[in-house]
With several copies, the nearest count.
Chain A
Amino acid sequence: MDAATLQTFTSPVVLFFVLGLLAAFARSDLAIPEAIAKGMSLYLMAAIGLKGGVAVSKSGIDSTVLIALVLGIAASFLMPFFANFVLKVFGKLGRINAGAVAAHYGSVSVVTFVTAVEILEAQNKPPGGYMVAVMAAMETPAILTGLLLARGMGSKDGQKTSELLHEVFFNASVVLLLGAFAIGIIAGAEGFGEVAPFFEAGFKGVLCLFLLDMGLIAARRIMDARAITWRLVVIAIGLPLINGTIGTAAAVACGLDVGSSAALGVLCASASYIAVPAAMRLALPEADPGIYLTMSLSITFPFNILINIGLMSMLASALTGVGGATP
C-alpha cells in the first residue's frame, strides 16, 4: 500500500464516511435531518458544476472534451448489457430486477465522483473540468438501456414513455449540474471569484458531513436488507472493478490525461442511487428497491469510496506512466 492510498484513510472526508458506517452498525441514533442532507447534496452539485464550468471556460473545448463525452455516453449505454448478463446468469435475478439493477450500474454516482476528484487532486492528478459534463451526460443513457432490457423492445404505453423521458432528462441533478456548469462557463474565473468562498472553501467540509450521512444510510440499509444473496454481493463488488478497469483503460487509450482517465474509470465503476432509483420506481414499479438500492448504495458505494477510487488512480498512473503523488 503506497503513500497515496494511505492518504485516503487519513483524509477527513473518508474518515467521516467510516464514522457514519460505524455509528450505524453500533445502532447509534445519530442522524442528519433529511432537509439538511438534501441541501448539502444540492450544494455539492452546484459547486462541482460551477467549478467544472470555470475550468472549461479557461481551457476551452477541444477534441479531448468531445472524445471524453462520446466515451462516457457510450459506456453508459453499453455497460448495462454486460451487467444485465451477469445479473441474470450469475446473480440469478429475473428479467425485471436484472434490468433495473443494470441501469444503476450503467449510470453514475455524483458523490462518488466528487470524492474521487478530491482524492485525485490531493494526489496531484486533477481531472479536467469537462469531466463534470461527462458525468452529467452519463446519468441517463443507462436508464434507457435498462428499461429496454427489462421490458423488451415493444414498450406498451407511449404516453408514459414520454413522461419518463422528460423526467429523466430534466431530473433535478442533471438540471443543476449542467445549469451550474453553464453558469461557470458564462461567469468565468472572475465571476466565480465572488462566490468562491462559499462554493470552494466550504466544499470539503460539506462533503465530510454529507459522507457521514451516506455512511449512516448505507449501513442502516444493509442491516435491514433481506433480499441480498452472496451472489449479489459478489456482483456489487465485481462490477465496479471490471467496469472501472475498462473505463480507465479506454480513457487512457483515447489519450485522456491521468486524472481524467481515473475519473472516467470511477464514473464507470460507480452506481447511481439517486436519479436511477427514482426513474425505476416510476417505470418499473415491479422491480424490488430492496435489491437495487442495497446493491448500489450499501455495497458498491462504500467499496468505491474506500478502495476502488484508490485502485483506479493507481491503474491510471500505471497505464499512463504518470504518477501524481510526487510532483
Chain B
Amino acid sequence: MIETVVRKRIEILTDTALLGRVTDAVDKVGITGWTVVPVSSGKGRDGRWREERVMGTDKVFVLTIASQDKAQALAEELAPVLTKYGFILSMWDVEVIRGERF
C-alpha cells in the first residue's frame, strides 16, 4: 500500500494585483511551491463583484501544501496583509503521496 503523510493544505483568496505579495510570503517561509486557481465572481461585505478583470480588481486563490510548521509560519507572515486587504486564509489537514517534497 502506498504510504501517505499528513500535511496542511492552505488556501488564500487574494486580489490578483496582490498575488505577488502572497507568493513572496510563501517563498519566504520556505514552502516549495504553490498553484494559482482563477476565481470568477463573489460576494463579501463590500457587495457582489464579477467580471472585474477588465477593471483589474479581480481575485484568485493561491493553494499550497506544506508542513504544519511552515503553514503556521505562512499564516503569521500573512496575518497583517489579510486584515488590511480583507483576504481569506483557511487551512486543513490532507494526506499526500510523496510527502517528502512538501
Report A180-199 CB contacts with B as 1/0, cut-off 8 Å. 00000000000000000000
- Given contacts A225-B47, A289-B46, whether A282 and B55 have CB atoms under 8 Å apart is no
User: In the complex the two chains form, is A282's CB within 8 Å of B57's CB?
Assistant: no
**From B18, B46, B53, B56, residue with most partner A Cβ within 10 Å:** B56
Min distance, Cβ B50 to any Cβ of chain A, angstroms: 8
How many pairs, one residue from A and one from B, have CB atoms within 8 Å of each other in the complex? Answer: 53
Cross-chain contact B57 with A293 (CB below 8 angstroms): yes
Contact in complex: A274, B47 (CB < 8 Å)? no
Contact residue among A37, A225, A281 (Cβ-Cβ distance under 8 Å from B54): A37
By a beta-carbon cutoff of 8 Å, the part of chain A in contact with chain B is: 29, 31, 34, 37-38, 41, 167, 172, 213, 217, 220, 224-227, 273-275, 277-278, 281-282, 285, 288-290, 293, 297
CB pair A274–B46 under 8 Å, yes or no, is no
B17 touches A34 (CB 8 A): no
Digit string of B27-42 for contact with A (CB within 8 Å is 1, else 0)?
A: 0000000000000100
Q: Are B17 and A281 in contact (CB under 8 A)?
A: yes
CB distance from A287 to the nearest CB of B (A): 10
Residues of B near any A CB (own CB < 8 A): 15, 17-18, 40, 46-51, 53-57, 84-86
| Pairs A–B under 8 Å by Cβ, sample size 16 | A29-B17, A34-B40, A34-B53, A37-B51, A37-B53, A38-B54, A167-B17, A220-B50, A224-B47, A274-B55, A275-B56, A277-B56, A277-B57, A278-B55, A285-B86, A297-B55
> In the complex, what's the smallest C-beta–C-beta distance from B46 to chain A, in angstroms?
5
* In-complex Cβ contact of A274 among B18, B49, B56, B85 (8 A): B56
Smallest distance from the beta carbon of B80 to chain A beta carbons, Å? 12
Shortest 9 CB-CB contacts between residues of A and residues of B: A278-B56, A34-B53, A285-B85, A224-B48, A37-B54, A290-B47, A290-B46, A277-B57, A277-B55
Of all chain A residues, which has the CB nearest B87? A285
Contact B46–A278 (Cβ < 8 Å):
no
| Separation of A297 and B54 alpha carbons in the complex (Å) | 12
Q: Say yes or no: A38 contacts B46, CB within 8 Å.
A: no
Cα-based distance from A278 to B55 in the complex (angstroms)? 7
Given A213-B54, A285-B84, A289-B49: 14 more A-B contacts, CB < 8 Å: A34-B53, A37-B54, A167-B17, A217-B51, A224-B48, A226-B47, A227-B47, A274-B56, A275-B56, A278-B17, A281-B15, A285-B86, A288-B46, A290-B46
Question: Which chain A residues lie closer than 8 Å to B56 at the CB level?
Answer: 172, 274-275, 277-278
